[in-house]
Structure 1
């Protein structure tokens, strides 16, 4: 038998096919040096149904005559024309909705972001003008908030018979380490005064120096620090007077407290207990709203760490504007018998849970020393109808949540008045969105 290796001896040798070689991958690479031209209007780059168009239309319908009257640049007179008040108003409203609270950040967005560029429409911006406009027109913002609420009430979209109030604590633009006691503040002020005197002497000794601008800037900064320390000392005096008043009625608790402190960064800020249980410098921002529509009716700012006793000033402010709610919903932190009695006489029923009793007794049980107003309050809160009514206060928490999303977490401004201005911007932006929703719902519900 023939061997296996001789079986195919006469056949030609077979060659394996070589694999075809693959060329380099074909890719689309950016070519940034290539000259390209696009002929398109800025208005064509934003969709017709974009929300920013509704914001601009809303601002165009506002009465900003007070802002126009304050403009000094007039036809036939010298002066650089400022940006239109409508543009500045629209920018800050949109920035508030977007959660932008920094003027520098807004300035950057006006250059880089398409939506903000559309709002600007070619008008240049700088952070100084944006920052100044934001905090300079608190009276106008108050008027716009009041007019917006009144217009919705007149249109029958909102009823202000039932209102709610809640506090929102917002972190201040001050560090915890900036708080000092009286003795340390006096030392810091003396050091600041010495530095101001030394810098002023250096500037006057060589007025023609090439470093004059730098020294002048240092002198301004030192003067501002001295002013902040002086404001902190004034705040210490206010806190000591407040402690003296509380000591007359609650001497035991006051004696346990440490010496008051004030911040050298933001003298009006106060260390408060926050929602997470921690203690940080903050402002206690008060919001009054209609719970069903979640429309903000009024705002205020407080520097105390407690809501107790803040319901009456808010109701008095509403009455001054012609609003007299029949029912007023607040949480347990506001509960105060004096306010319940005062509101009862004013024709407003307060709905608030009682505080916990020390002996574990029923807080709704009537007491012998209860006035007619307090007895009525206990009876209402214990009833099923009262519990149903009070559940409506929970709707107010949605406003607080939107506030957090719109930047009410930490302030970038200092001072009680400026903090209230930031709160007003949030209230205007929030009410603008609520007015869109309320009018759209009304239009949908009305017959064609």
Structure 2
């Protein structure tokens, strides 16, 4: 018995890639980027900045040997664009500059590598401070910023160090001795062969860097021990040995938002209430905000010659000493009164003068009792917490750099980027 075979299915038709065909194409990077793309706004903003500080540091000059330097405009624009898009990795930015149209458009055929990008991001704090200060000063002159109300808040950001890198003084001294012995062995056994010279030099640099960080940790652990002894003075407590990180000696273990303790830095931000523009930033190694209000106010006065009229902070900032100094410098402090709810439950008046109060602290208490002051303080979350949320959304959850100076530089990048986005939203940069 014969059966009829099923009909053969026709071959499918698809468009397959052909990569070896020679073609002539009219191609321009500028033609592939829309006129209203944000990358063009960023580039125009960079062109409006005074980059003299950056150009003065370039050693490549005409009629002298050496390669051309990468234009600082490119590097500034790349990192502004990267920060807007929550990119903090120099390696990731290098890849994007080779395959993403927006970043390729910024480069315009100029190649950049991650070493250059990484070094540029963590250096030039003087330039970044100048950009932040001059921008705010010009907006102050144009009355976009009034400094009528300024809110300050602190946010703890994870450091580039592990909890296990914190050691006591004896362990740090042991690490220093080991690093010195390792370095001596490398120098003694250094091979003169050209093929291994580069590897040997890299190993030496790594050991020297490790030794430098351990020696800095030894200095700082002595300072931390003195601070701990002063805080314990007069208290019946068992002495504890201070610990310091050999990975990042400037990092400190701080209580984070989830209640846990991890190595971190305390990022301080002051924001204008009317425009939501950042007017001051700083980074400290202290785990609490109890001594941070007056230094930030002093920074604002030094930069702009004017003290904020109303200064909004949360409960952690409002110590007697800081309130007194800030009020004497020309600002009215608005913050919760310590123990206000507990005193009201006991039937005590939280706004009455206390024994430890200075005249400025008493004035602060009396002002807090008014309805106008309470309504003004309600503005604080929408001013200060808004900036913190934006920083987190832009990727500021953990630093990739080590050391207070480099950390402060990275925070300046976030502040400048935040202000640029605010200026775009306000229609002041197009």
Q: Deviations over 1:24-65 (max 9, x none)?
A: 332233333444442111101111110110000000000111
**Structural RMSD (CA):** 2.2
Partner of 2:277: 295
Of residues 387, 412, 419, the one that matches 2:400 is: 412
Q: Unaligned regions of 5+ residues in structure 1, if any? A: 1-16, 444-448
Partner of 2:251: 269
User: Given that residues 310 and 333 in structure 2 are in contact (C-alpha distance below 8 angstroms), is that contact kept between their aligned partners in structure 1?
Assistant: yes
Residues 367-378 of structure 1 aligned to structure 2 (within 5 Å) = 367-369=353-355, 370-378=357-365
Q: Is residue 299 of structure 2 the alignment partner of residue 317 of structure 1? A: yes
Q: Deviations over 1:179-234 (max 9, x none)?
A: 1111111111111111111111112xx53474333222222211211111111111
- The whole-number CA distance in structure 1 between the counterparts of 2:249 and 2:17 is 53
Q: Deviations over 1:123-147 (max 9, x none)?
A: 0101111122222211111111000
Query: Which secondary structure does the structure 2 equivalent of 1:287 belong to?
Result: strand
Partner of 1:237: 222
Q: TM-score, normalised by structure 2?
A: 0.92
Q: Deviations over 1:287-338 (max 9, x none)?
A: 0111332100010010010011110111111121212111100011111012
- The whole-number CA distance in structure 2 between the counterparts of 1:364 and 1:383 is 13
Partner of 1:251: 235
- The whole-number CA distance in structure 2 between the counterparts of 1:27 and 1:334 is 67
CA shift for structure 1 position 102: 1.6
Query: Which secondary structure does the structure 2 equivalent of 1:324 belong to?
Result: coil
- The whole-number CA distance in structure 2 between the counterparts of 1:164 and 1:307 is 13
CA shift for structure 1 position 368: 4.3
Of residues 146, 159, 163, the one that matches 2:150 is: 163
Q: Which moved more, 1:380-389 or 1:51-60?
A: 380-389
Q: Alpha carbons of 1:256 and 1:57: their partners in 2 closer, same or farther (altered >3 Å)?
A: farther
CA shift for structure 1 position 18: 11
Q: Is residue 135 of structure 2 the alignment partner of residue 148 of structure 1? A: yes
User: Given that residues 251 and 264 in structure 2 are in contact (C-alpha distance below 8 angstroms), is that contact kept between their aligned partners in structure 1?
Assistant: yes
- The whole-number CA distance in structure 1 between the counterparts of 2:302 and 2:354 is 35
Q: TM-score, normalised by structure 1?
A: 0.89
User: Given that residues 351 and 368 in structure 2 are in contact (C-alpha distance below 8 angstroms), is that contact kept between their aligned partners in structure 1?
Assistant: no
- The whole-number CA distance in structure 2 between the counterparts of 1:363 and 1:193 is 63
Partner of 1:200: 187
Q: Is residue 117 of structure 2 the alignment partner of residue 133 of structure 1? A: no
Query: Which secondary structure does the structure 2 equivalent of 1:129 belong to?
Result: helix
User: Given that residues 161 and 263 in structure 2 are in contact (C-alpha distance below 8 angstroms), is that contact kept between their aligned partners in structure 1?
Assistant: yes
Aligned pair count? Answer: 421
User: Given that residues 157 and 438 in structure 1 are in contact (C-alpha distance below 8 angstroms), is that contact kept between their aligned partners in structure 2?
Assistant: no
Partner of 2:313: 330
Q: Is residue 389 of structure 2 the alignment partner of residue 401 of structure 1? A: yes
User: Given that residues 149 and 310 in structure 2 are in contact (C-alpha distance below 8 angstroms), is that contact kept between their aligned partners in structure 1?
Assistant: yes
Q: Is residue 351 of structure 2 the alignment partner of residue 365 of structure 1? A: yes
Query: Which secondary structure does the structure 2 equivalent of 1:439 belong to?
Result: coil
User: Given that residues 162 and 328 in structure 1 are in contact (C-alpha distance below 8 angstroms), is that contact kept between their aligned partners in structure 2?
Assistant: yes
